[in-house]
């Protein structure tokens, strides 16, 4: 499974990557620093899932979601948003745009694991990713 992490913060990309690889060391992880770079790189990296921040320079996460979800070539890519803002209107807007999951920062390792497990299970039910022989529940 290919996952792209999009965040202007190197620290957050580092933490998210660490969590994802704990979850499954076979994930292929790529990174982008903002929405614009993400949109440019999805055609090369072809991720199954994008984990993206909202508040970024050059192009915000919500603008990037809009682009990804309106382009026929990228609309199948699932998106998990990371945001510091728990504002209901923002979350509703992102869900309407088509994101599958969201996570409020700062997050604890267990919270990330729970939300990510739910997302992966949903993607597995939709046949978008294979069953990973349940390494999910064994992740430390």
Give the nearest distance from C-beta 104 to other proteins in angstroms: 8
C-beta closer to other proteins: residue 27 or 107: 107
Binding mask 10-49 for other proteins (x = CB under 8 A): xxx-xx--x-------------------------------
Q: Which is nearer to other proteins, 100 or 105 (CB)?
A: 105
Residues 6+ apart with CB under 8 A from 41: 4, 30, 32
When asked if residue 57 is in the footprint of other proteins (CB under 8 A), the reply is yes
Among 71, 73, 76, 86, binds other proteins (CB under 8 A): 86
Task: Summarize as ranges the residues that interact with other proteins (CB under 8 A).
Answer: 9-12, 14-15, 18, 55-57, 83-87, 105-106, 108
């Amino acid at each position: 499974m290919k996952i792209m992490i999009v965040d202007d913060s190197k620290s957050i990309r580092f933490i998210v990557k660490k969590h994802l690889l704990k979850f499954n060391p076979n994930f292929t992880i790529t990174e982008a620093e903002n929405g614009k770079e993400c949109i440019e790189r999805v055609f090369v990296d072809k991720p199954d899932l994008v984990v993206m921040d909202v508040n970024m320079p050059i192009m915000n996460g919500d603008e990037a979601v809009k682009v990804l979800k309106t382009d026929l070539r990228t609309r199948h890519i699932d998106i998990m948003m990371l945001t510091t803002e728990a504002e209901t209107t923002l979350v509703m807007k992102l869900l309407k745009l088509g994101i599958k999951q969201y996570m409020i920062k700062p997050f604890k390792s267990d919270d990330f694991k729970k939300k990510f497990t739910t997302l992966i299970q949903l993607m597995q039910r939709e046949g978008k990713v294979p069953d990973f022989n349940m390494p999910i529940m064994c992740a430390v």
